[in-house]
A and B are shown apart, each in its own frame.
Chain A
Amino acid sequence: MAFVLELNGLTKHYGNIQALRQVSLEIPQGTVYGILGPNGSGKTTMLGLIMNILQPTGGSIRLFGEAPRADHRQKIGTLLETPNFYHYMNAVQNLQIAAAIKGVTNPDIDGVLEKVNLLQRKNSAFQTYSLGMKQRLAIASCLLGDPQVMVFDEPTNGLDPVGIAEIRDLIRRLAADGKTIIMASHLLDEVEKVCSHVAILKKGVLIAAGHVDEILAQDDLVEVSAANTPQLPELLKALPHCKQITAGDAGKWLLHFEQGTADLRSVNEYSFQQGIVLDHLLLKRRSLESKFIELTN
């Protein structure tokens, strides 16, 4: 499998602070790879190292199977942290500079502005834009030259709900076109909705990486209770597909099933067979947040 990006033991220190510790990761071509982690986990540092605006303390990076070069970066559309443009220039002038640096001849500037709904304001100075419009312009700049790889750091920052939905839709369309997208975010919902793969960083350490369904797999939870049955966990532990039983709120118990395997009728029947009359039976979806907190704590 061809890898767009390979990190090997990537490390970055800022004085005594270890921003990134021995991160090794491979990003296959054609995936939408989410980099997930709480604020300060090292997501932006990792992308900054990849894009050569930070110098690594240790480890190595390979882009397109080679040692990184400037012309590799020209082939990657990147939005890192904040939209960075010349404030006194308008959208077209800023994109012309970006295109010249990327080596894109005859850039379709109107086309990329149209894709991010910024065409009507193409002649307005960047300094007059709202945060959402600046973000859209940054994404338009990423689209110049139709690159096969894109790096987005918090791409929906500053956007309103409609803008967020539009950018998610755009990312999905780009992914459907076979482009590789590397997207850092602390928004779980965003990553779950658009990413095929995910890597989770915590305090600069890579704690998990792989297919999003594996890493962010959510258990089915069945909440049960019965009168005067402290032995309930012991009696129900043999329930088919039940992985674990934990204490819930107010004397209730939580039965953990693998995703999509919980069946309330079977639970009720089995409990009855064990001599337990349930007075509470509820199917709950485990939140993505709780899974994330479990992974990062």
Chain B
Amino acid sequence: MNLNIPHLLRIEWMKVKNYKAFWILMILFVVSMIGINYIYWYVKQQFVASGDIAAQAAGSMIFGDFRFPAVFKTVSQMSSWLLYFPGFIVIFHTTNEFTFRTHRQNIIDGLMRKQFVVAKLAGAFLLALVCTLLILLTSLVFGLISGDGYFSLEGLQYIGFFFVQSCVYILFAFTLALLVRRAALAVGIFFIYGLIFDYLLAVWISRGTETTLGYYLMPLQVADELNPPLAELKKVIGSTNQWIALGISIAWLAFYCFFPIRKFEREDL
């Protein structure tokens, strides 16, 4: 069975390129991503300019370090708050298919059910890749304007972690959209769950088991553990192993790929 992913991506592109909400949310994401890093970078500069060593240390702890090699981790961590935007894009794009009943028409016109889901998954991975490239570019710009000419790719793994984290957020949103089928409901659940309940459940499980298990189990929190808050803050709330978090995140990604295909292949549309 040939899925022909480039062909599927071309069809997805035809669907989104004329969709205004897609462009508005993408522009908002890019501007917000640059903006949030600029705010932190600017405040950090104020702490540095104060000349007070204690203030500089506090600034680094709270606002991160925008010099190489730490800039990759700092920008990834700051920007990860904005991963709701690409999630919203995927939710709107997916629920549109149900609202317009084009999910049925696409199958009637000759897409395989699996192809329909794989097209969305491939689009989601591509969107995560675009977000990651933007983060990489932003990191390089802030790194170059923050340092004293020193350049290093030492912390580049955090860009890779950001890619996995983006995939987890976007595919979680896609799975939710496929289950809920209504845009407003899916956006509401995604936002509130991601912001509050995922972490709340992680804390409860961890407290209940007196381990860091909750941070590994919850679908979004485990991806957040790839780009955890700065080390000093992390010491207070407990430390997790990034590589274990990476493995579990990839397992969740496998679930987000497998489950929607299976569900869509078996149900009445």
Contact = CB atoms under 8 A, between A and B. Distances in A.
A52 B113 contact: yes
A193 to B, nearest CB: 26
Contacts of A73: 107-110
Contacts of B268: 48, 53-55
Interface in A36-56: 48, 51-55
B76 interface: no
Interface residues of A, number: 29
A67 interface: no
B207 interface: no
B269 A97 contact: no
A206 interface: no
Contacts of B11: 97, 100-101
Given A84-B100, A84-B101, A98 B109 contact: yes
A143 interface: no
A86 B266 contact: no
A103 B4 CA distance: 12
Given A54-B268, A70-B111, A101 B104 contact: no
A84 B108 CA distance: 10
Nearest to A80: B108
A101 B106 contact: yes
Contacts of B10: 100
A126 to B, nearest CB: 9
A71 B115 CA distance: 12
Contact of A53 (B18, B108, B266): B108
10 contacts: A55-B266, A55-B268, A70-B111, A75-B110, A78-B109, A88-B18, A96-B14, A97-B11, A98-B105, A102-B110
Given A55-B266, A103-B110, 8 more contacts: A48-B268, A55-B267, A82-B101, A84-B102, A88-B20, A100-B11, A101-B111, A102-B110
